[in-house]
Structure 1
Amino acid sequence: MSIFNIFCGVALLSLVHFSESSSTEQHEARSYGNSSINGNSQKVFDIVVHGILLWASMGFLMPLGILIMRMSSCTKDCHPSKHKILFYVHVVLQVLSVLLVTVGAVLSIRKFENLFNNTHQRIGLALYGAIYLQVLIGFRRPKRGTRSRSTWYFLHWILGTTISLVGILNIYTGLNAYHQRTSRNTRLWTIIFTAQVSFMAIFYLFQEKWDYMQNQGMIISVNDLENSTAQLDNQKDVLNEPYRKSNALGTYFLRTNALNKLLQIT
């Protein structure tokens, strides 16, 4: 949880930096020529397609793949077959996201002015490099039980989480850039995307606590079982006490009769 909090702090600082640089972004947007964008329907269409591709890849499929992998780690010990299925689902989702990122990158290279003088393009360029580096790291996965496995897992996890968080942040910068270049309202799309990200974050935290909740239930069940066992033992003792007394008295009378008979015989 501490590392997750660090990432949240970094994201908040980035948002603050983004809000402070909004005036600079507006000045940069003017250099693109808003009137030409508004008059060019093909350019607007290309920007929308680029945004949808990057939302589907870094805003949806990548975070979903992280959630799936978190679920697979929760079921690894209890359901090995289910863990294997979820692992392959994670791989498929990440491969699809990389393919969509590649299409979005090719579209941006061929259709847009790649001056890299604004925050959105700079972050996007860094994300492209980090994503393909993550692909190489993913295919270089060591076997479980080797010494390099823990180091690989940490690098794969930290880089994947960073890409997902920065990619979500860059979607917000892209929505802002789209609004500045086309003068179109993006508030509805911002609200929808924020709701989606919030739901995924809540679900991730729920998965983080799922094992703890299950263990709490198991502890309660064990306590109840111990209490019920103690109660059964007490009931057995109570039921057995009269039986033991009657056996002792019966044994006493049997021995007494046997002694009387011996005395009479003698």
Structure 2
Amino acid sequence: MGFLQKLGFFCIRLSFLLFLVSPLVSSSQEQMKGAGSHKENIHKQMSHKLSSEIRLHGFLLWASMGFLMPVGILAIRMSHGEECGRRLRILFYVHGLSEMLSVLLATAGAVMSFRNFNNSFNNKHQRVGIGLYGLIWLQALIGFVRPQRGSKGRSIWFSVHWILGTAVSLLGVLNIYTGLQAYHEKTSKGIKLWTKIFTAQVSAITFFYLFQDKWLYIQKQGVLLGNEPVRPTADQVLLPIEKQKQSVTDSS
């Protein structure tokens, strides 16, 4: 058998082996591609689930710290001009219910973050958040042990409650901004619109809060609804006796 015949038989055998092996190779490649696509689908599902959980966490904390807590603060601020009556009770109940719902929603958001997120506490949002959760519950407990009006510890309680409430409100607003930034860094999604909307809301609440003192001042001055007091004339500043003398002189 010559060299060419041996080479021909070798080529035939090699072709036959390749024909047999090619389906196995193609099937293994398809399996690898299927496994890779399956992993990609799982990763996409996990990222979508994580993104949804982050959005729900942010909504709960906004509803707690960005809405309900300011509403409670504005309600108790408006009650300062009320002496007693039904309006004072309504404002007090609005304050209490708003703050309790705020604590519950913040607790739900905290549970979500501890269970579903990577709590390495290596950023501002997580570090401020863990301290904020503790202050929220401390403020709630202080609110439940409110002394009666006129008691010795009432002024001390009021000062602590006011200072702690102000700190919680400021930290809550700050943590919402840091949370938006953390959401942007984790998902690469834009946050400019939400930042502008929240800034407008905070500005409106701050303006209304500061306007409360001016509103009471305006009411005391009697300039609302065109009820500005009329300045007395020269005749009105005369003493009663002088008025009588003037009237007798005019009649004579």
Structure-2-length-normalised TM-score: 0.75
Given candidates 74, 77, 86, the residue that maps to 1:67 is 74
Given candidates 43, 48, 65, the residue that maps to 1:41 is 48
Change (3 A) 1:242 1:192: closer
Select the structure that is richer in helix: 1
User: Which residue of the partner structure matches residue 168 of structure 2?
Assistant: 163
Given candidates 182, 191, 216, the residue that maps to 2:221 is 216
Say yes or no: does 1:230 pair with 2:237: yes
Q: How does 1:1-266 map to 2 (within 5 A)?
A: 40-74=47-81, 76-77=82-83, 79-217=84-222, 224=231, 229-230=236-237, 237-243=245-251, 245=252
Could you tell me which amino acid in structure 2 is paired with residue 157 of structure 1? W
**SS of structure 2 residue aligned to 1:40:** helix
Whole-angstrom distance in 1 between the partners of 2:172 and 2:44: 25
- The answer to whether the Cα contact below 8 Å between 1:54 and 1:101 also exists between their aligned partners in 2 is yes
**Over residues 16-38 of structure 1, what are the superposed CA-to-partner deviations in whole Å (9 max), with x where a residue is unaligned?**
xxxxxxxxxxxxxxxxxxxx689
Whole-angstrom distance in 1 between the partners of 2:173 and 2:73: 13
- The answer to whether the Cα contact below 8 Å between 1:37 and 1:181 also exists between their aligned partners in 2 is no
Could you tell me which amino acid in structure 2 is paired with residue 166 of structure 1? L
Could you tell me which amino acid in structure 1 is paired with residue 70 of structure 2? P
Could you tell me which amino acid in structure 2 is paired with residue 179 of structure 1? H
Change (3 A) 1:240 1:184: same
Query: Where in structure 1 are there 5+ consecutive unaligned residues?
Result: 1-35, 246-266
User: For the pair shown, which has the larger CA radius of gyration, 1 or 2?
Assistant: 2
**Over residues 156-215 of structure 1, what are the superposed CA-to-partner deviations in whole Å (9 max), with x where a residue is unaligned?**
011011100110001000000000000000000000000000000000110122222223
- The answer to whether the Cα contact below 8 Å between 1:38 and 1:44 also exists between their aligned partners in 2 is no
User: Taking every aligned residue pair, what percent have the same amino acid on both sides?
Assistant: 51
Q: RMSD in angstroms over aligned alpha carbons?
A: 2.5
Question: Which deviates the most, 37-46 or 150-159?
Answer: 37-46
Query: Where in structure 2 are there 5+ consecutive unaligned residues?
Result: 1-42
User: Which residue of the partner structure matches residue 38 of structure 2?
Assistant: none
Q: Which has the bigger relative contact order, CA under 8 A and spacing at least 6?
A: 1
Q: CA deviation at 1:109?
A: 1.1
- State the number of aligned residues: 206
